[in-house]
Amino acid sequence: MAQNKKLFERRGMHMNLNHKTMKWGIFEALIILLVCIASPAPALTDRQARVTGYSGIEQNYDKFDFTGMPVKIPSNELERLSNGKIKVGMVINNKNVDSIKNELLALTSPGVYNMVKRGMEMVIADYKPWPVPSAFGEVTKANAGKAVLSPDGNLRTRDGKWWIGGTPFFAVNEKDPQAAVKAWYNQIHVYDGDDFTHDGVSMFFISSSGQRERGLVMSWDRLFLTSREMLPPKPSYDPKLEDVFFKELVYVQSPVDLKGFGNLTYRYNDQNKLDDSFAYIPAMRRVRRLTSGQRFDPFVGCDSSIGDFRTLDVPIARWNWKLIDVQPKLTTLFSCDYITENIGAQRHHPTTVGEKFPRMNWRLWPEVYVIEATPKTKNDCPIYSKKVLWALGGSWKSNLSDAYDRQGKLWKTTQNHFYGYGDGKVLALTAHFETDYYTYDHQSDHASPWYIDLPHRKFNAGFTPERFSTKFLQRYGH
């Protein structure tokens, strides 16, 4: 019964339970049984998987907002920027990369160039805009001009409240001394629903030869308590919780020896304040409080950390932000032309050198804010001297970062590969999907891809704050 209860809670279905008595009736038990039956990941047919990440957008233009980005760019724009050397349709690999080294470095990063040299392939595809659902766009427009940065580096409204939703700084002038931090505030306030779950994420440890050394299945859930745009109550969940930006749970579902390990984080709207973070250690059967720097500990020994999520996931005011440039870049929006990640169908995206490198579409984005972020103290991040990040102007998503060790040497490259939005049939229309969250270690030549099962990616599930607690963290561990 305890196992069934975990599944019931895990799927975000909520009932008015008395947690002190935990008495279950026949009706509740029947519901749990239905959840248990429905819980395996659906196996999509090849026909279902042929849905592209932009077909839903193209068929439902009226349900999306394209403000701030071109719907089209000149067909020869990439050739113009690369002196005719890089064209839509070509594949960049270690055989031709040296002939376009300068052009590729200008359009990507040192980390990407080094990965191509070692065997990664880049499929160059045409530009596609990345809009937001119309409901989110309406909130952005309603709140236009209300965002300010307070002297302590926090994002507030002009009347002193915490930010109330939508993109805060839609137009960021690169000459503004605060351009970098404004661009990154836009990035953390991109459309992600008012809550989301990545369930059934398969993470693998890939050796230098490209072979799987081991793997695990985990889940990542997040609930936004403020800056809510889609689900009531909004713009904040509860006046008593308005100091909290989000709560999140990350925990391991398998294998048995790691099952139950989890991390709970509370991020505050006061970005000078340290996260409240807790870990449940199954072997110790106890919850342990974490320091802020431990957010950058390798997640169960892989190349990635929770602090690397979305290329950098930290309290903004505890880092320094410097704008390096604003320029066109090749990015991994709409990285695959079909639904690749599906555990039930045992389908994954294409790779090279075994599974070491993802083989993805790379598309030109006309205006990318290249930002250098450095921790203010070693306590905030003891492992990196800096991270060079991208924020895509208009969409404000971040899909790439190069991280440098304490000696200033290139260490890791993190990429987010975005499949696109659903079509409204196979996948939800107002949810966007990631194919892979991926980290490559240049110094040890191994990688940690996180294959994100698309059918189990959910937006606006209706989570409540109560499930993001140390009590729930312990329950997942048993």
pLDDT tens digits for 262-271? 999 999 999 9
Asked whether the predicted pLDDT for residue 21 surpasses 70, the reply is no
Using CA atoms, how far apart are residues 149 and 182, in angstroms rounded to an integer?
8
| Three-class secondary structure of residue 281 per DSSP | strand
Count of CB atoms situated within 10 Å of the CB of 246: 20
Nearest to 336 by CA among 69, 55, 43, 146: 55
Confidence bin at 40 (pLDDT 50/70/90): low
- 139, amino acid identity: V
- Measured on CA atoms in the order 99, 104, 106, 107, is the torsion positive or negative? positive
- 476, amino acid identity: Y
Does the residue 44 lie in any domain? no
Two tokens, residue 281: 């250690």
Query: What total number of domains does the chain contain?
Result: 2
Average pLDDT over residues 409-427: 96
Average pLDDT over residues 384-412: 97
State the angle between helix axes of 26-38 and 2-10 in degrees (0 to 180), rounded to the nearest 10: 70
Same domain flag for 28 and 78: no
Does the residue 293 lie in any domain? yes
Does the residue 75 lie in any domain? yes
pLDDT given at position 270:
98
Same domain flag for 81 and 12: no
Residues of the chain with pLDDT > 90, as a percent, come to: 80
Q: pLDDT per residue over 347-375, tens digit each?
A: 899 999 999 999 999 999 999 999 999 99
Same domain flag for 104 and 131: yes
CB of 330 within 8 A of CB of 107?
Answer: yes
Same domain flag for 15 and 76: no
Alpha helices in 110-258 (DSSP H): 110-117, 134-142, 179-188
CB of 414 within 8 A of CB of 42?
Answer: no
Same domain flag for 59 and 150: yes
First to last CA, the chain: 12
Confidence bin at 478 (pLDDT 50/70/90): low
Does the residue 329 lie in any domain? yes
Q: pLDDT per residue over 431-440, tens digit each?
A: 999 999 999 9
Using CA atoms, how far apart are residues 89 and 81, in angstroms rounded to an integer?
16
Confidence bin at 41 (pLDDT 50/70/90): low
Tokens 């836009």, residue? 186
Instruction: Check which CATH number belongs to the domain holding 179 and give it.
Output: 2.50.20.10
pTM: 0.90
Q: Across 210-332, where does the E strand assignment appear?
A: 212-224, 244-254, 262-268, 276-281, 286-290, 319-331
Does the residue 448 lie in any domain? yes
Nearest to 61 by CA among 133, 167, 121: 133
pLDDT given at position 29:
36
Same domain flag for 22 and 137: no
Residue 332 CA neighbour count, 13 Å, CB half: 27
**Which range, 16-30, 294-308, 320-334, is most confident?**
320-334
Same domain flag for 105 and 14: no
Query: Regarding beta strands 446-452 and 195-206, do their DSSP bridges make them parallel or antiparallel, or are they unpaired?
Result: antiparallel
Nearest to 251 by CA among 418, 34, 470, 460: 470
* Domain interval for residue 19: 2-39
Using CA atoms, how far apart are residues 15 and 209, in angstroms rounded to an integer?
49
Same domain flag for 161 and 29: no
Same domain flag for 331 and 188: yes
Same domain flag for 470 and 337: yes
Same domain flag for 18 and 102: no
Same domain flag for 28 and 149: no
DSSP 128: -
Q: Which of 269-291 are b and which e, b meaning 16 or more Cβ less than 10 Å from the residue's Cβ?
A: bbbebbbbbbbbebeeeebeebe
Query: Regarding beta strands 360-375 and 122-125, do their DSSP bridges make them parallel or antiparallel, or are they unpaired?
Result: parallel
Using CA atoms, how far apart are residues 268 and 263, in angstroms rounded to an integer?
16
Does the residue 281 lie in any domain? yes
Using CA atoms, how far apart are residues 390 and 183, in angstroms rounded to an integer?
9
